[in-house]
Structure 1
C-alpha cells in the first residue's frame, strides 16, 4: 500500500515539474511573409514580371514609393522568454526589383545583420534650448501677454 502511494506522489511530482518547465520555455512567434525557398528561387530576372511574381510569392509586405518599383517580402521570427521583451531571432527581407516595363530586373536578400537595434535614451525627449523649471513654466508669461498697443474705439 505504501509503494502505491509513493508511486502516485512521485508521478504527481513529475507531472507538476513537467508543467512548470513547460511554462518557463520560450515562446516562438513568426511574423510577416512565410518564406518558401523553392518559390523564392523560382523568381528569375528577365523571365518573370509583376503578375507572375504576385502569383508565385503572393502580395508583398511593402512596395517602394519612389524610384523603380521594388517589392519587399519581410519575415521575422521572435523569441520571448518568460517575463522578458521579445527579441528578433531570425529576420529575412527579399527585395524583388522591377524595371520600368514591370519585368524582374533582380532579386536581393538581406538578413538580421541589417536590423538596427535602437534603445531609447530615457523617458524624456532631449531638446535644444534652455532648461526651464516648473515655476518658470508656470509664471514665465506674466507681463508678456497684452503688452501691445490697445485696440478699439
Structure 2
C-alpha cells in the first residue's frame, strides 16, 4: 500500500513538472541585423558598398529605386502554449548610398507599440535631397502668418 501511494505521488509530481515545462515560452529569431559594433566599421561619407559588404555582409533586402539602400531586417517571435506567435521585437538597419555608391546614411529603426521608432541615426547631408525647388517653395506657403506680413 505504501509503495502504491509513493508511486502515485511520484507520478503526480512528474505530470506536474511535465505540464509546467510544456507552458514555457519559446523564442525564435528571424532575419539578421548587424550589431552596433559591426556598424562602427562603416564610416559615413567614406565607406563604399564593398566596404559595407565586408563589414556586415550583404542584406536580404535592397532598395527598389536605383539600388539606393540596403536593409537588414530582424524579428523576434514569442511562441507560448496554444496562442498564435507574437512578434515582440523588430529592428531594421537601413544603409543608404549616394549615386557613387558611398554610404550616405546609417539608421536603426525599432518597432514599439506598432509604431516605428528611430533608435539611432548617422547622417551627413540635410534631409531636403529629394525635394524639388518648386516643392520647397510651395511647402512654405502655409508657414507664413498674416501677422508676419503686417509687421513689415
Shorter-chain TM band: 0.5 to 0.7
Give the conservation status (yes or no) of the 8 Å contact 2:90–2:110. Answer: yes
Post-superposition Cα deviations, 1:54-110, rounded to whole Å, max 9, x if no partner, equal 111112121001156110000000112222211110100000011111111110111
If you compute each CA radius of gyration, which structure gives the higher value, 1 or 2? 1
Structure 1 residues without counterparts, runs of 5 or longer: 117-153
Q: CA RMSD in A?
A: 2.4
Going by fraction, where is strand more abundant, 1 or 2?
2
Q: After the TM superposition, list the runs of 4 or more consecutive aligned residues in structure 1 that deviate by more than 4 angstroms.
A: 4-9
Gap change, CA 1:78 and 1:42, over 3 Å in 2: same
Give the conservation status (yes or no) of the 8 Å contact 2:33–2:91. Answer: no
Question: Normalization by structure 2: what TM-score?
Answer: 0.65
Q: By how many angstroms is 1:18 displaced? A: 1.6
Instruction: Determine the structure 2 residue equivalent to 1:88.
Output: 87
Instruction: Determine the structure 1 residue equivalent to 2:133.
Output: none
Give the conservation status (yes or no) of the 8 Å contact 2:33–2:93. Answer: no
Give the conservation status (yes or no) of the 8 Å contact 2:33–2:92. Answer: no
Structure 2 residues without counterparts, runs of 5 or longer: 116-152
**Paired residues, what number?**
115
Instruction: Determine the structure 1 residue equivalent to 2:109.
Output: 110
Question: Normalization by structure 1: what TM-score?
Answer: 0.64
